[in-house]
Structure 1
């Protein structure tokens, strides 16, 4: 990508899109196009087609999505399936019609079967049943991956897809009803500290194993791939995509302990802390989900931020950034 070529980042106000914009700015790209939802509704096919025809971007990062945690996915599956599929299809088809040189599609490791062999290789796609608590979102993401791969095959496009693991970082959603586990824990422990509560209630039993990736690392990875690799470099029998993660995991209980330690660090000398109570009537989700990042590492990229550092960055952002709702 040349520094002055036109780059459209769809979803620039989200966790991932915002990180991508910052990564592009840091590398000296000067012609970044963004649109808010009010300015461009990606569910409106005509509006998307007209936007691409008018702006003619050279490169596209598709980071726009309708997202949420287990609770939101369980309550609103139709929204997650319909909106994510339509957003993806509108952007990908518009890119094709307007000669976009390269497109980066952001997916999710929730695309993989619930009981996939661990660590999960890219070849595991569509080899088993999905996790029921987020199958609607996963099906939409799988469809967009397959669309990009089909376009590469039929039309000779250069559309790459990446499957990041569980994400967190600057500008995350800390609203308890719709957020993911990482930011939800930060808010719960912070509110317990502020109000003097001695117990924090958490979903499940704490046993699931999860891998967490700092959104800034993901942005670094996707910009690196766009600058240096093509869809053919990512090709597998199941599609033109690659996992993005750290290759390291922890239990949800271990994450909770880390978050609690960071949040209570400034009052630890006084002995203040809180207990954790797990609600096993709430779903755990997939028992374990660890990416195999062998292929990504072989392509020349590795994650840099570990979970403890990531919690510290995120909590500072929660306290001082414009992120709380």
Structure 2
């Protein structure tokens, strides 16, 4: 009888961790009798404390780890606390990966971010370009700490033959997202704005022209792909998990999908005095498609409706982060 896998997910209560849970719950083909999944959060252990990290591993005895835990924040927090983001995330990653090596974990999948890519680059970005130049000044602390996971993975492979790798998702959204306007991202921000515009009978205001393009990935799709990476992806090199370049949608299109999902009948206003930000940050999913040519992403209209439904159902609970 095959040994039962014990999959420990750090940062398991966040957006991506819940995407994993939803993927496992919704798709029976992802379930395996020989796997036990354990989702932990900061309440279970302080991963900045090496002893606490070791105790967590000794308690659960994972054979496999999906490492999602991180200190995260929006633009304003990153600008103010770049050193904190660098130190805290480096310590967390060092503790988790070193403990995985010490406890002979068979495979580790860590989660990076497209913000780690060089600020000055060509598009589409791909996995070979991570270290080609400095990241944007606004979040260099977080970005360098995340980049170092890739360096750690290669070093652990070279010295101990560890099977450590990483995924790089594009703009993730879905249930359990962060809907705080300062710390959250584009889609949860739009959902929150439309909710209150409908509730208060006011205009729904979108900052900028709505023309920038983004590749959004539904957290449930991301969860399914991370499960595939854990089980079957063979490389130490990271892999971008994203919809294709042809599936970029504009902020205006995203806003209209939220308006439709919430059945908002009021005025939509584009405040063109506000900056649009970067027009596009296109990432190539050619490597993903080489391995998974038939993977079907959830249509954004459906995924946004599901996210809106979850938000409205949980709005008055402590589940929604505002």
Quick one: which of 264, 279, 283 aligns to 1:287? 279
The answer for the alignment partner of 2:320 in structure 1 is 323
Unaligned runs of 5+ in 1: none
Q: Which residue of 1 aligns with 2:116?
A: 111
Q: Out of 269, 272, 288, which is 1:275 matched to?
A: 269
How far apart, CA to CA, are the structure 2 residues paired with 1:254 and 1:324? Answer: 24
Are 2:191 and 2:308, in contact at CA under 8 Å, matched by a contact in 1? yes
The TM-score, its normalising length taken from structure 1, stands at 0.87
- Which residue of 1 is the match for residue 225 of structure 2? 221
* In structure 2, distance between residues paired with 1:38 and 1:174: 21
CA gap 1:155/1:283 in 2 versus in 1, 3 angstroms: farther
Distance 1:303 1:160, change over 3 A: farther
- Return the alpha-carbon distance in structure 2 between the equivalents of residues 63 and 95 of structure 1: 14
1:201 to partner: Cα distance: 4.9
The residue number in structure 2 matching 1:20 is: 20
Higher mean Cα deviation, 240-249 or 50-59?
A: 50-59
Separation in 1 of the partners of 2:268 and 2:297? 30
Alpha-carbon offset, residue 223 of structure 1:
0.6
Q: TM-score, normalised by structure 2?
A: 0.88
- Counterpart CA distance in 1 for 2:220 and 2:158 is 31
Aligned equivalents of 1:134, 1:223: Cα separation in 2 = 28
Structure 2 unaligned spans of 5+:
none
- From 89, 94, 119, give the equivalent of 1:89: 94
In the TM superposition, what whole-angstrom CA distance separates every residue of 1:157-187 from its partner, at most 9, and x where no partner exists? 1012110001001111112221111101100
Helix, strand or coil at the partner of 1:6:
strand
Alpha-carbon distance in 1 for matches of 2:209, 2:267: 20
Aligned to 2:180: 175
Q: Any conservation in 2 of the 1:169–1:215 contact (CA below 8 Å)?
A: yes
Instruction: Check if 1:243 corresponds to 2:248.
Output: no
Within the alignment, does 1:8 sit opposite 2:8 as a pair?
A: yes
**How far, CA to CA, are the matches of 2:232 and 2:183 in structure 1?**
36
Pair 307,74 (structure 1): closer, same or farther in 2 beyond 3 Å:
farther
CA contact (8 A) 2:6 2:64 kept: yes
Cα separation, 1, equivalents of 2:110 and 2:132: 22
Could you tell me how far 1:219 is from its partner in structure 2? Answer: 0.8
2:178 touches 2:321 (CA, 8 Å); kept in 1?
yes
Match of 1:311? 304
Q: How many Å separate the matches in 1 of 2:46 and 2:90?
A: 14
